[in-house]
Amino acid sequence: MSFAAFRRRDLFALSLMVFGLSARALPEASRPAAWAVDYGGATDPALARNFGLLVLEPDFPRAIQPLRGPNSRILAYISLGEVHSHRPFFDELERAGALRQANPNWPDARLVDMRDPAWTKLVLDRLVPAILQKGYDGIFMDTLDNAEAMERKDPERNRGMVAGAARLVEAIRKRYPAITIMMNRGYALLPLVATQIDLVLAEAMASRWNFAERRYEMTSAEDWAWQAGRLLAAKQANPRLGLATLDYWDPQDKTTVASLYERERAAGFQPYVSTLALDRLIPEPSS
């Protein structure tokens, strides 16, 4: 279901949320457990056990069990739309012709052709199994937004990239039906895969890092409502889908950080606020 399918009163409710006015939030039962992300190699077990859902970088050698809280799930980061040059399979993909140009924001990462059978086989046969063998409960899929950007930039060469990304997600679910799958953004393919995933994340929902000016900034009301609309549309397609947000801000500015948590929760989303580096767990400011 697309954003356009929402009734006019649903859009009005979203606009009320954006401007801080009263609006009915989603029921408490629809919210996922408190969650966090840490791509650093020294995750604090005492902090980690406070979260019901934790996303980690799986390449660091670590014991998973000490990080588990009661009934928690721990997911491993996996980039499906680009590959960093330090990954051990980078050269293999280069030889297969599956890699494209560099990501301008992260120059050591190359975009990947998500339609390429060599990439699908690598993900299904090696990358996901290696993650699960380390004790993770599932995967956090990142960089799927690249599919839409690539198809828009070069429609001829990248025709069907969004559909190819959706097929990759569906292939993962089919091969590993019991794992937890969380997707970061991927809004162009979200209508195609909403029933195949367990959680969707709106990254940089209310605040973000401005790469050009090198500072944190609030997103516009229109940006927030645009993302919220897609999250809620996916929720209609899959009522069990968890809706999470990730905002970026200076943790020393506790007042603004607390307001970001409050804003996202008021709309029925489960928030987490961190720095752009995402290299440590940052507790929510106490009220």
pLDDT at res. 229:
97
Contacts of 95 (CB under 8 A, 6+ apart): none
Parallel, antiparallel, or unpaired: how do β-strands 138-142 and 180-184 relate? Answer: parallel
Q: Is the pLDDT of residue 230 over 80?
A: yes
What local confidence, expressed as pLDDT, does residue 254 receive?
97
pLDDT in tens, 179-190: 999 999 999 999
Neighbours of 222 (CB within 10 A): 10
The enclosing H or E element of 120 equals: helix 117-122
- The pTM (predicted TM-score) of the whole model is 0.87
- Answer CATH for 3-274 from 3.40.47.10, 3.40.1390.10, 3.20.20.70, 3.30.1490.190: 3.20.20.70
Average pLDDT, the chain: 89
Query: In this predicted model, what pLDDT tens digit does every residue of 121-173 receive, in sequence order?
Result: 999 999 999 999 999 999 999 999 999 999 999 999 999 999 999 999 999 99
Q: Rounded to an integer, what distance in angstroms lies between the CA atom of residue 106 and that of residue 244?
A: 24
Residue 115: name the closest of 141, 97, 103 by CA.
97
pLDDT digits (tens, 9 = 90+) for 238-256: 999 999 999 999 999 999 9
- Spatial CA neighbour of 99 closest among 86, 88, 113: 113
In sequence order, the 6+-apart residues with CB closer than 8 A to the CB of 60 are: 40, 41
Under the banding of pLDDT at 50, 70 and 90, the label for residue 286 is confident
pLDDT band at 206 (very low <50, low <70, confident <90, very high): very high
**What are the residues facing 285 on neighbouring strands?**
none
Q: Is the pLDDT of residue 26 over 80?
A: no
pLDDT on residue 131: 98
Split at pLDDT 50, 70, 90, the class of 119 is very high
Q: What is the largest CA-CA distance in the chain?
A: 55
